[in-house]
Chains A and B, each alone.
Chain A
Amino acid sequence: MRSNSKNTLLKVVILGDGGVGKSCLMNRFVSNQFDEHSFHTIGVEFLNKDIELDGETYTLQIWDTAGQERFKTLRTPFYRGSDICMLTYAVDDKSSFKNIEMWRNEFLNYADVKENGQFPFIVVGNKSDVPVEEREVSQLELETWCNENSITSCIETSAKSASNVQEAFKMAVQYWLRLESRADKIDPGVNDTVDLKKKHSDNRSSCCTGSSE
């Protein structure tokens, strides 16, 4: 269905407790930089980044929000129209791992997605570079949780050492593609993509409404 000339825009939302490294992951992925003392996020930010997969180009529009509960009403409107949701915790922070479930539920609640089980979630355990003695969540715990919640994609990353960051985003797109090809078979009329070239003739397409027909 997708021709090579098309550039597919995918909206990715990164969620997780404050301080787990969402903004650092985004900056590492987009500009391959890591700033240990960057500001905490206020409001909503996003960055675009092209990614190649099997000869096709995807533009990821990555949305980063402030994690504090107080700003819930501010961030939830941005969940709508997401194609991919990255649930993030820090491996040296057990409670951020426990909150993954809360984040998934908040996302499902506001994102307006078609079928819960079918949405491409990817769970990312960041700060894998920390010394073993500071680690509070093991890889095994991560995999167990994902199995129990039928999420097939999970990965440990380090925004600091650049380990697995590209891979995490690739993995997410691959998962999205798998679900997408399945959805295409069921309903060939559904097309989640937005042609970026049309962007300026149609306001809504520039507004990250990836899945709103």
Chain B
Amino acid sequence: MEDCEDCEEIFSQDGVLLKQAPATHITFVNTIGTLYISESLNSNKKRFIEWKPNDITVDSDIQDQEWAVVNTIQKRTRTLSGNYPPDYQNRIKCIKLNFEDIKSFRIANKSRQISFYDGKADCLCIFGFQHGSSDVLLSILKRMLRVSVSKRDKHLYIVYDANFPEFQQLDRSFAELNIQHDSRTLWSVFKNLKDHPYETTFEAFSKVTDYVYRSPEQRDLDDVDRENLNRSISEYENTTTHSQGDYEVVAKVPERKDFPRLRPLSLEQWKGHMNSEGKIEDVESVRNLIFRGGVTPCLRSEVWKFLLDYYPWSSTELERQKLLASKSDEYYNMKLQWKRMTKTQEDNFTDYRERKSLIEKDVNRTDRTLDFYAGDNNANLQTLNDILMTYIMYNFDLGYVQGMSDLLSPILMLLESEVDSFWCFVGFMNKVIRNFDIDQAGMKDQLSNLHTLLAFVNPQLANYLDTHDSGNMFFCFRWLLVWFKRELSLEDVMRFWEVLWTGYPCENFHLLVCVAILETEKPNIIQNNYGFTEILKHVNDLNGKLDMAVMLNKAEGIFYQIKESDHLTDNIRLILGLPLLQSQTSYGSHEQSPFEDSAELSNGTQPCCSVDNVRISPDEVAYERSINSSFL
């Protein structure tokens, strides 16, 4: 690092957390410090960004606090502007980014995070703002660097290279350009820019620069056009200023189409798809039919076994018979393991005892209003209990988690067979296993992804929630944990689940259902000026009032709106399991249709976090902090 005695500080901001850094500074990651913009006093007048750690390091507790990192925020330590703190000499700790190395930067996490990129897909640094936001920094960067908003990602700012000739010309006022003919074209670009800033910006700049570059002859702009151009430039600048808030101006998604629900899969249709050996011939079209209309009730107990991966879709009738026998043995083996536990064993096995008692308590409080589970000493309650107990022996690491009895109850009610219900329950659990993560990471991811989707489809509502302490989407927890089991009637929940189990039309379709409902409730929420508490109450009270068919219909419309919109980001593609733009060419592994393997598809959570060959948006990483800052 070069010496920097002769430089002038232009800006400083404290409480800045280093979230990602070059290898040389990796030990300072998660340290709080101060961010400076300085200008060298040498003739070269180079400008750069510097970050210097405070001496206090962030308590490592911050990781354990999970959703509640609220009280660990450091006290403000204001630096006197213009003066570096005494230990500023300790240069090795500083991170320095020359302006000329910054090719783009991205604002995330509601302006609480900024990432700098060097244009080679490498992230130079990520900074988080513990208090305040990146707004001031952003406005300074916009003044000092010539930037434009990316067409694909409205939080991404592209820095124009000051050494390129078109930049130098561009940097002179546009109005001074000597353009004779074709000024109409230029004007229309700006007009378009004004009307659709995010869509046009990037493209517009490249058009203008191209034009300027290729038009060296002297031309005159007529006065009217010059005036128009001036006005539109200043308006354009206003627009970008406003757009600092996350959702002020956005590209529009295409119009919503209507996707009517069809009749449920009928017995004739089902039989028609089976060959003489009882094998399903065209699995995709069967699944598509189920997605469109569900399954007719008398057929459910058979079809659910396929949907829940108990019966392989490719199996013949004979193979299924064999499977049944072996699965039955396996089940009773596991059941005997806990049934045979002696009193002493139990007394010496706290973990087991606790699980057993949890299950007992919950079984007594699951769907007791339905005839099937009503009354004391109901044999079905015992079966419900036994399946859950056996599930602990099947997956002891996971154990019993509240919500599981809700997922099992309709399955047992439908199949009325202990063994079949167990294995179908296993299949369902495999799809939603991350809902029950010890650290609840799966639920947090889903809430975060739900917010990302909502912000894309309905930025106004997302923005409202963000500014009303509700950006964490917490109030959707129950919906997501047990897939609307508590909000819908038994018949509706069965229909809803079988539709979702198909994995059509995309991964995480249930999140789009949430978006659809929230959109329907938007007028209620906004007109009543609900805050977090009222939203939670409003959402909890929707129980029993949701129309499942309408929800599915809307959600599908939303899916196609997203899919067909031209500013779709990779982040959204990852959530919905759509092929990524990059990965198709460079990685090849995503070329298969997203609907090929049912086991992977509808697992209820997101594979995105484990896809490490794709640089995902830092939104995810920063989610924890956002939940705290916007929470209560």
Binding site for B on A (CB under 8 A): 18-19, 36-40, 42-46, 61, 66, 68, 70-71, 73-74, 76-78, 80-81, 110, 112, 200, 203-204, 206-209
CB–CB B366/A39 < 8 A: yes
Among A61, A73, A81, A203, the residue within 8 A (CB) of B66 is A73
Nearest CB of A to B357, in Å: 8
When the two chains form their complex, are residues A80 and B632 in contact, meaning their CB atoms are under 8 A apart? yes
Contact between A206 and B536 (Cβ–Cβ < 8 Å)? no
- The reply to whether A112 and B71 form a contact with Cβ atoms under 8 Å apart is yes
Complex contact B477–A44 (CB within 8 A) = yes
Could you say which residues of chain A place their CB within 8 Å of the CB of B632? Answer: 77-78, 80-81, 207-209
Residues of A close to B401: CB separation below 8 A:
68, 70
A74-B67 Cα distance, complex, nearest whole Å:
7
Partner of A68, one of B402, B468, B469: B402
**A–B Cβ pairs within 8 angstroms, 18 of them:** A18-B362, A37-B369, A39-B366, A40-B361, A42-B478, A44-B474, A44-B536, A66-B402, A68-B401, A70-B401, A70-B402, A71-B440, A74-B67, A74-B440, A77-B67, A77-B632, A203-B469, A204-B469
Interface residue? B417 (CB, 8 A): no
> Are A42 and B365 in contact, CB atoms less than 8 angstroms apart?
no
Given contacts A66-B402, A206-B534, contact A42 B482 (CB under 8 A): yes
A209 to B424, CA, bound (A): 44
Q: Which residue of A lies closest to B534 (CB)?
A: A206
CA distance A40 to B468 in the complex (A): 29
Contact of A206 among B358, B366, B443, B533 (CB under 8 A): B533
A203 neighbours in B (Cβ, 8 Å): 467-469, 529, 531
> Does residue B618 face the partner (Cβ distance < 8 Å to A)?
no
Q: B615: CB under 8 A from chain A?
A: no
- The number of A-B residue pairs with CB atoms under 8 Å apart is 100
> Which residues of A sit under 8 angstroms from B477, Cβ to Cβ?
42-44, 74
Q: Mark B426-451, 1 if CB is under 8 A from A, else 0.
A: 00000000001011100100000000
B532 within 8 A of A: yes
Task: Report Cα–Cα, A66/B436, bound state, in Å.
Answer: 14
Taking a contact as CB atoms under 8 Å apart, the answer to whether B469 and A45 are in contact is: no
Q: Shortest CB–CB separation between residue A59 and chain B, in angstroms?
A: 12
| Contact present for B403 and A42 (CB under 8 Å) | yes
Name B402's contact: one of A71, A76, A80 (CB within 8 Å): A71
List residues of B (469-499) whose CB comes within 8 Å of A's CBs: 469, 474, 477-478, 481-482, 486
In this complex, the member of A45, A46, A73, A112 whose beta carbon has the largest number of chain B beta carbons within 10 angstroms is: A73
Asked if B261 is an interface residue, CB under 8 A from chain A, the answer is no
Chain B hits for A18, CB < 8 A:
358, 361-362, 402
Asked whether, in the complex, the Cβ of A73 is within 8 Å of the Cβ of B440, the reply is yes
Shortest A115–chain B CB gap in Å is 15
Please list the 3 inter-chain residue pairs (A to B) with the smallest Cβ-Cβ separation, ordered nearest first. Answer: A37-B368, A19-B361, A206-B531
Spell out B's residues near A (CB within 8 Å).
66-68, 70-71, 358, 361-362, 364-366, 368-369, 401-403, 405-406, 436, 438-440, 443, 467-469, 474, 477-478, 481-482, 486, 529-534, 536-537, 540, 627-628, 631-632
| Contact among B68, B361, B436 for A70, CB-based, below 8 A | B436
Q: Which chain A residue shows the least CB distance to B368?
A: A37
> What's the nearest-Cβ distance from chain B to residue A57, in Å?
19
- Cβ–Cβ contact B358 & A68, under 8 A: yes
Set of chain A residues within 8 Å of B68, measured between Cβ atoms: 73, 76-77, 80, 110
CB-CB under 8 A from A112, the residues of chain B are 70-71
- For B468, the chain A residues whose CB sits under 8 A away are 203
Q: A68-B401, A76-B68 are in contact. Are A42 and B628 (CB under 8 A)?
A: no
Least Cβ–Cβ distance between A177 and chain B, in angstroms: 23
Closest-by-CB residue of A relative to B403 is A42
- Residue from the list A36, A68, A208 in contact with B533, Cβ < 8 A: A208
* Contact between chains at B365 and A40 (CB < 8 Å): yes
Residue of A nearest to B485 (CB): A42
Residue of A nearest to B405 (CB): A40
B226 to A: closest C-beta gap in Å: 47
Residue of chain A at shortest CB distance from B444:
A73
Write out the residue numbers on chain B whose beta carbons fall within 8 Å of the beta carbon of A46: 533, 536-537
Q: How far is the CA of A44 from the CA of B537 in the complex (A)?
A: 10
Residues of A within 8 A of B443 (CB): 74
Partner among B66, B436, B531 whose Cβ is within 8 Å of the Cβ of A204: B531
Rounded to whole Å, the gap between the CB of B627 and the closest CB of chain A is 8
Closest CB in chain A relative to B313 CB, distance in Å: 32
B631 and A70 form a contact (CB under 8 A): no
Give the nearest-CB partner of B71 in chain A: A112
Which residues of B lie under 8 Å from residue A36 when comparing CB positions?
Answer: 368
Residue of B nearest to A212 (CB): B632
Query: Closest residue of chain A to B402, judged by CB?
Result: A68
Question: In the complex, which residues of chain B have a beta carbon less than 8 angstroms from the beta carbon of A70?
Answer: 401-402, 436, 438, 440
Bound CA span A40–B477, Å: 15
Query: Using Cβ atoms and an 8 Å threshold, which residues of chain B touch A43?
Result: 477-478, 481, 540
Q: Do A42 and B481 touch across chains, with their CB atoms under 8 A apart?
A: yes
A209 to chain B, nearest CB (A): 6
Find chain A residues with CB under 8 A from B540 CB.
43, 45
**Contact across chains for B533 and A80 when beta carbons are under 8 A apart:** no
- CA separation between A73 and B536, bound complex, in Å? 17
Residues on the A chain within 8 Å of B438, using CB: 70
In the assembly, what is the distance between CA of A207 and CA of B534, in Å? 8
Rounded to whole angstroms, the CA-CA distance of A108 and B445 in the bound complex is 28
Contact present for A37 and B365 (CB under 8 Å) = yes
Shortest C-beta distance, A27 to chain B (Å), equals 13
Complex Cα spacing A42 to B483, Å: 12
| List of B residues within 8 angstroms of A209 by Cβ | 632
Report A-chain residues with C-beta under 8 Å of the C-beta of B536.
44, 46
Residues of B within 8 A of A39 (CB): 365-366, 486
| Cβ distance A122 to chain B, nearest Cβ, rounded Å | 22
Q: How far is the CA of A77 from the CA of B626 in the complex (A)?
A: 13
Asked if residues A77 and B481 are in contact (CB atoms below 8 Å), the reply is: no
A207 to B465, CA, bound (A): 13
A42 touches B402 (CB 8 A): yes
Bound-complex Cα distance A141 to B79 (A): 56
Bound complex: CA of A74 vs CA of B444, how far in Å? Answer: 9
In contact, B531 and A207 (Cβ under 8 angstroms): yes
Closest to B400 in A: A68
The minimal Cβ–Cβ distance linking A173 to chain B, given in whole angstroms, is 20
Query: Are A42 and B531 in contact (CB-based, < 8 A)?
Result: no
Complex-state Cα separation, A77 to B369, whole angstroms: 32
B440 touches A40 (CB 8 A): no
Judging by beta carbons under 8 Å apart, are A40 and B362 in contact? yes
- For B631, give the chain A residue with the smallest CB separation: A77
CB distance from B401 to the nearest CB of A (A): 5
Q: Nearest Cβ distance between residue A88 and chain B, in whole angstroms?
A: 14
Alpha-carbon separation in the docked complex, A85 to B443 (Å): 27
Q: Which residue of B is nearest A200, CB measured?
A: B529
Contact with A73, one of B67, B469, B481, B533 (Cβ below 8 angstroms): B67
CA distance A134 to B530 in the complex (A): 46
How far is B481's CA from A200's CA once the two chains are assembled, in angstroms? 31
Question: How far, in angstroms, from A13 to B134 measured CA to CA in the complex?
Answer: 36
Point out the residues of chain A lying under 8 angstroms from B469, CB to CB: 203-204, 207
Min CB distance A39 to B, Å, is 6
